[in-house]
Amino acid sequence: MEKLQNIRIAVDAIVFGYKNNDLYVLLIEQKFGSADKYWALPGGLVQNEESLSDAVIRELHEETNVQLNFMEQLYTFGDDIFRDSRNRVISVAYYALVDASNLEIKANTDAERVQWFKIDEIPSLAFDHNLILKKAIARLKSKLTYEPIGFDLLPNEFLFSDLENLYCTILEKEIDRRNFRKKILSYGILEQTDKIAPVKNGRPAKLFKFNKLKYNLLVKEGFHFEIKFA
pTM beyond cutoff 0.75: yes
Using the predicted structure, report yes or no on whether residue 223 has a pLDDT greater than 60.
yes
* pLDDT tens digits along 32-67: 555 578 899 999 999 999 999 999 999 999 999 898
The CATH fold of domain 7-143: Nucleoside Triphosphate Pyrophosphohydrolase (3.90.79)
Tell me the one-letter amino acid at 183: K
The domain limits of the chain are 7-143, 156-220
Please spell the DSSP secondary structure of 165-195, one letter per residue: HHHHHHHT----HHHHHHHHHHTT-EEEEEE
Percent of the chain at pLDDT > 70 equals: 95
**Which long-range CB contacts under 8 A does 52-60 form with residues at least 24 apart?**
52/9, 52/11, 52/92, 52/94, 53/94, 55/11, 56/11, 56/13, 56/94, 56/96, 59/11, 59/13, 60/13, 60/15, 60/96
Cβ pair 193, 157 in contact under 8 A: yes
* pLDDT tens digits along 102-125: 888 988 777 889 999 999 999 999
The CATH fold of domain 156-220: Arc Repressor Mutant, subunit A (1.10.10)
Mean pLDDT of the chain: 91
What is the Cα–Cα distance from 146 to 35, expressed in whole angstroms? 45
Q: Which of 101, 223, 98, 105 is nearest to 159 (CA)?
A: 101
What is the Cα–Cα distance from 16 to 98, expressed in whole angstroms? 6
What is the Cα–Cα distance from 84 to 78, expressed in whole angstroms? 10
163: β partners: none
Model pLDDT, residue 205:
87
Length of the chain (residues): 230
Using the predicted structure, report yes or no on whether residue 228 has a pLDDT greater than 60.
yes
Tell me the one-letter amino acid at 131: L
Q: Which of 107, 72, 111 is nearest to 92 (CA)?
A: 72
* pLDDT tens digits along 150-172: 999 999 999 999 999 999 999 99
